[in-house]
Structures are given as structure tokens and as C-alpha cells.
């Protein structure tokens, strides 16, 4: 796109994207507020159709239907101690000076059915976790017993139910194991496995095809000639997709060629649930994404009142969401957090779409803009006085190291031209405070 006006470029290789660096000190016509842009985007996105996922693939997915227990858990009463299974009434008066002697009639081992039942004057040796034999109602710990050949002397009493883990103690048949809308974590995985569930009906992980556009791009492992730029955006997006729980498919670099872009996207339609491209979404007349899809699907191009990340494209191609991001690397990161991550959360059936936010006091001054929401990279820490945030560096949309040093984005609303040191500001956290 050699003839594209410079002011319209914002792509992976243009680290001086003018659209992201206007100072905001004058009115800008046609800008869409961030909240309205996000609402429009989310209106295009629906949850994916639930499927029966194998349990080993369900971690991190959201249950799309209630999961109910089909049996008691545990399904049998078991011993909580090594010792002897006995009848409580027969050992009620046992003392070290006057022990109760019982005949040992068998053993109960973990993973096996007991080889005897407990009758009058009898005991069964039992291991921790082994099924309690019929006829017994309590366990006498081994330290309260003295074994003498085929008999055991019980030195202390044990009451009914003592040291017995009853059947159904954890879950009763018919109890709700996992409610609709619950994200399946390790605890749910273990509970479902214990209940004998090999599958769970859940919203699947979106399969997202990632494309970088630009004649100037080369793969990260390739040497660069003068003027060339390594494709960092694909890998930034891939990492963020994985962190969000989606499955990325890197389709590689697409040159500034309309037919190549069309062929790449349409060739991925079968496996894709959504598409993300970076670069080529400015509002110029010679934009490759705009030329490729302004008649196919329903892709809209916006100038959003935000910095960085003003040029955006949202829409559908053959019914599948398409997110067109600007090309500068920080613009890609911020745009993903503001727009794409909430959309992915909706696709995955998550009840909470947005990142957590805190209010922090600033350690240093941060500039805002008169007509835009500014997302400024900051590092937040918790103190006894509350949250404190400091800038991680310059505001240029090519400065990716400032994102790597940050754990939050300070949100400076339009009309606030500066947040001074000591003033408070809303911050969206994109990783833990310990990071």
C-alpha cells in the first residue's frame, strides 16, 4: 500500500502511527465513545453452541447445563482410621484395666470387599479407607487395641459412628454437583471424576485465526532488511488468546494484497470460530481489509475515541466474528483487552466479561486527552494506604516493553487532560499484583 496516506496507516510495521498519537487538544469529528464501540461489538457476539466435552478437555470451560449426582459420594461407608471394626455396644465399658476381648474374624482392605462380617463378640481388622464390614458401627483405632493372636483386647470404648466416613457424606444422589454458568476448575474436575462423569456439557473454547497484514513484516526468526519489521502482533495476540482460554491458530503474515487476504480468511472458515487481524483497519480509501470485505459479510470500520487504538473494525464474515485491530503493538494489546477479551468471555459463556478494576493513587503525573479515553500502562501495588500506581514508561504505541512491565491500564476519561501525582484513577488489572 505504498500510496496509502501516512495519516491513515496504523499497522504492525508503522511504529509511528499518527492515529494513535494525536494530542487530543482539539475537537476530533466522528469519534465513537469506547463504551458505545464495545456495546456494538458485543452485540455481534453470541455464546458458542454447547457441546459434550471430554472431562480432560473441560478445564476452564463454563458448564452449560446443571450436572447432578447420580449416586451417593462416597458410595460406601469407610474407615477413617487403621484399627478394628466392631459393635459399639460391645466395647462401651472397655478400659485399660478391664479390656473387652473380641475374636478377629477377618480383614477389610482398601479397594476390596471385606472378607467377613462382624457378629457378636467379633472384630474385623480394617485399614484407613477400607469399606466398613456389615455388622460393625464404629472403628476402634489400633492404638486403643492390643492384639493377642486371634483376639484383640479393646482398651477404650468407641461410640456409634466414630471414625466412620458414612456413605453420602460428601454428596447425596440427586445433589447439584456443578451449576450452569460455573467455570470448571480443578475442584470441579475432581468432583466430576469422583462422580463418574466422563463428559460435561459446556461452552467450548473459541478457535481464533490470527492474521498480521503488511508488506513490511517478516517472521520473528527471520533476519530483517532495512525498513522491515518482525511480526510481534501475532504472538502477542496468541498469548492473550491462550490466557483468555481460547485456542489460537496463527495464519501467518498476509501482504498488502486483497486477494491474498480474502483467500487466507475464507480458507480458514471451516475451523475458525472468530478472526483477528492486525494492521490495515484505518479509515483511508486504500485499506486492504476494507477493500477485501466491504461487500462480503458485514464489517464496519470505526474511529474510537481512545488512545492508543483509535482505528477499529468489527463485524462478521460468514456469520463469524471478525475483529480488525490497528497495527501498532501497544494498540493491539489495549484493543484486545478493551474489546476482544470481553467478546471471547461472552463466546465462552462466562458470566463476568470484564477485567477487575481498582482505584489507585498515582505516583507520578499521567497525561490524558480532551476527546479520548486514554489507557495508560501502569504498575499497581497494594500498600497499607491502598493501591498505588506508577507509569511504566512513555505513551508511544510502539513501546511494547512498557506493557511487559505493567500489570494494569489506568483509564483516564475524556476531558481529563492530566492525572497529577497523588490523585486517584481507575485501573483495569490485566494480571496479578504480584506479577
Q: Are residues 29 and 106 in the same domain?
A: no
Q: What is the DSSP string of 147-178?
A: EETTEEEE-S---TTTTEE-TTSSB-TT-EEE
pLDDT surpassing 80 at residue 292:
no
Q: Of 151, 178, 203, at which residue does a domain stop?
A: 203
Show the domain range for 161: 78-165
Q: What is the pLDDT of residues 98-135, one digit of tens each?
A: 999 999 999 999 999 999 999 999 999 999 999 999 99
Q: Are residues 215 and 263 in the same domain?
A: yes
Q: Are residues 62 and 190 in the same domain?
A: yes
pTM: 0.84
- Distance separating alpha carbons of residues 81 and 77, to the nearest angstrom: 12
pLDDT at residue 18, as a whole number: 38
Q: Does residue 435 sit within a domain?
A: no
How many domains does one find in the chain?
4
* CATH code: domain of residue 59: 3.90.105.10
Q: Does residue 96 sit within a domain?
A: yes
For the chain, the average pLDDT equals 90
pLDDT surpassing 80 at residue 16:
no
pLDDT surpassing 80 at residue 392:
yes
Q: Does residue 272 sit within a domain?
A: yes
Q: Are residues 145 and 261 in the same domain?
A: no
- Distance separating alpha carbons of residues 407 and 395, to the nearest angstrom: 15
pLDDT surpassing 90 at residue 84:
yes
Strand ranges (E), 169-241 = 176-178, 199-203, 207-213, 217-218, 229-230
Q: Does residue 24 sit within a domain?
A: yes
Q: In the numeric block, which cell numbers belong to residue 11? A: 499497522
**CB-count burial class (<10 Å; 0-12, 13-18, 19+) for 376:** buried
Q: What is the pLDDT of residues 313-358, one digit of tens each?
A: 999 998 999 999 999 999 999 999 999 999 999 999 999 999 999 9
Contact between residue 128 and residue 80 where contact means Cβ atoms under 8 Å apart: yes
Q: Are residues 293 and 303 in the same domain?
A: yes
Q: Looking at beta carbons, which pairs linking 141-145 to residues 24 or more positions away fall under 8 Å? A: 141/81, 141/82, 141/83, 142/81, 142/82, 142/83, 142/84, 144/83, 145/83, 145/84
What proportions of the chain, in percent to the nearest 5, are helix, strand and coil?
20, 35, 50
pLDDT surpassing 80 at residue 56:
yes
pLDDT surpassing 70 at residue 94:
yes
Tell me what the mean pLDDT of segment 33-53 comes to: 96
Q: Are residues 130 and 198 in the same domain?
A: no
pLDDT at residue 397, as a whole number: 85
pLDDT at residue 29, as a whole number: 55
Q: Does residue 191 sit within a domain?
A: yes
Q: Are residues 141 and 177 in the same domain?
A: no
Q: Are residues 69 and 174 in the same domain?
A: yes
* CATH code: domain of residue 421: 2.40.340.10
Q: Are residues 152 and 100 in the same domain?
A: yes
pLDDT at residue 423, as a whole number: 96
Q: Of 179, 203, 227, at which residue does a domain stop?
A: 203
Q: Are residues 20 and 118 in the same domain?
A: no
pLDDT at residue 299, as a whole number: 86
pLDDT at residue 7, as a whole number: 34
DSSP H/E element including 419:
strand 416-419
Q: Are residues 316 and 269 in the same domain?
A: yes
Q: What is the pLDDT of residues 295-319, one digit of tens each?
A: 556 788 889 999 999 999 999 998 9
Q: Which DSSP state fits 201?
A: E
At 86, is the pLDDT very low, low, confident or very high (cuts 50, 70, 90)? very high
pLDDT at residue 297, as a whole number: 60
At 282, is the pLDDT very low, low, confident or very high (cuts 50, 70, 90)? low
Q: Are residues 189 and 330 in the same domain?
A: no
* CATH code: domain of residue 307: 3.40.980.10
* CATH code: domain of residue 153: 2.170.190.11
Q: What is the pLDDT of residues 185-224, one digit of tens each?
A: 999 999 999 999 999 999 999 999 999 998 898 898 999 8
pLDDT at residue 11, as a whole number: 40
Q: In the numeric block, which cell numbers belong to residue 157? A: 470404648
Q: Does residue 1 sit within a domain?
A: no
Q: Please give the share of the chain, as a percent, with pLDDT higher than 90.
A: 78
pLDDT at residue 115, as a whole number: 96
The region of weakest confidence among 171-175, 214-218, 425-429 is 214-218
pLDDT surpassing 90 at residue 395:
no
pLDDT surpassing 50 at residue 285:
no
Q: Does residue 90 sit within a domain?
A: yes
Amino acid at each position: 500500500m505504498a500510496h496509502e496516506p501516512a495519516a491513515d496507516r496504523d499497522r504492525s510495521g508503522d511504529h509511528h502511527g499518527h492515529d494513535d498519537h494525536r494530542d487530543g487538544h482539539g475537537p476530533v469529528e466522528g469519534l465513537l465513545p469506547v463504551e458505545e464501540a464495545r456495546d456494538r461489538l458485543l452485540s455481534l457476539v453470541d455464546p458458542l453452541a454447547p457441546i459434550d466435552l471430554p472431562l480432560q478437555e473441560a478445564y476452564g470451560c463454563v458448564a452449560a447445563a446443571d450436572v447432578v449426582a447420580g449416586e451417593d459420594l462416597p458410595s460406601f461407608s469407610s474407615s477413617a482410621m487403621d484399627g478394628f471394626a466392631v459393635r459399639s455396644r460391645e466395647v462401651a465399658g472397655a478400659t485399660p484395666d478391664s479390656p473387652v476381648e473380641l475374636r478377629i474374624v477377618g480383614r477389610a482392605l482398601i479397594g476390596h470387599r471385606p472378607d467377613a462380617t462382624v457378629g457378636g463378640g467379633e472384630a474385623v481388622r480394617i485399614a484407613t479407607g477400607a469399606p466398613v464390614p456389615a455388622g460393625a458401627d464404629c472403628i476402634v483405632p489400633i492404638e486403643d487395641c492390643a492384639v493377642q493372636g486371634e483376639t484383640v483386647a479393646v482398651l477404650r470404648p468407641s461410640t456409634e459412628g466414630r471414625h466412620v466416613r458414612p456413605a453420602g457424606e460428601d454428596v447425596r444422589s440427586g445433589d447439584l454437583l456443578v451449576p450452569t454458568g460455573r467455570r470448571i476448575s480443578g475442584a470441579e474436575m475432581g468432583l466430576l471424576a469422583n462422580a463418574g462423569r466422563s463428559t460435561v456439557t459446556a461452552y467450548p473454547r473459541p478457535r481464533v485465526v490470527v492474521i498480521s497484514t503488511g508488506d513490511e513484516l517478516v517472521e520473528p526468526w527471520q533476519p530483517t532488511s532495512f525498513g522491515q519489521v518482525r511480526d510481534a502482533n501475532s504472538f502477542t495476540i496468541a498469548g492473550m488468546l491462550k490466557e483468555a482460554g481460547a485456542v489460537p491458530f496463527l495464519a501467518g503474515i498476509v501482504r498488502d494484497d486483497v486477494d491474498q487476504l480474502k483467500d487466507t480468511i475464507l480458507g480458514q472458515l471451516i475451523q475458525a470460530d472468530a478472526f483477528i487481524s492486525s494492521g490495515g483497519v484505518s479509515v483511508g480509501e486504500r485499506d486492504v481489509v476494507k477493500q477485501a470485505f466491504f461487500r462480503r459479510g458485514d464489517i464496519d470500520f470505526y474511529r474510537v475515541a481512545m488512545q492508543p487504538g483509535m482505528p477499529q473494525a468489527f463485524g462478521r464474515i460468514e456469520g463469524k466474528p471478525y475483529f480488525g485491530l490497528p497495527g501498532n503493538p501497544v494498540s493491539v494489546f489495549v484493543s484486545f483487552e478493551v474489546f476482544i477479551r470481553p467478546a471471547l468471555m461472552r463466546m465462552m459463556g462466562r458470566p463476568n466479561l470484564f477485567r477487575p478494576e481498582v482505584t489507585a493513587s498515582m505516583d507520578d503525573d499521567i497525561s490524558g486527552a480532551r476527546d479520548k479515553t486514554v489507557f495508560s500502562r501502569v504498575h499497581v501495588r497494594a500498600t497499607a494506604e491502598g493501591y498505588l500506581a506508577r507509569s511504566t514508561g512513555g505513551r508511544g504505541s510502539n513501546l511494547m516493553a512498557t506493557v511487559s512491565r505493567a500489570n494494569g491500564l489506568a483509564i483516564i476519561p475524556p476531558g481529563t487532560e492530566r492525572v497529577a501525582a497523588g490523585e486517584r484513577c481507575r485501573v483495569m488489572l490485566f494480571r496479578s499484583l504480584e506479577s
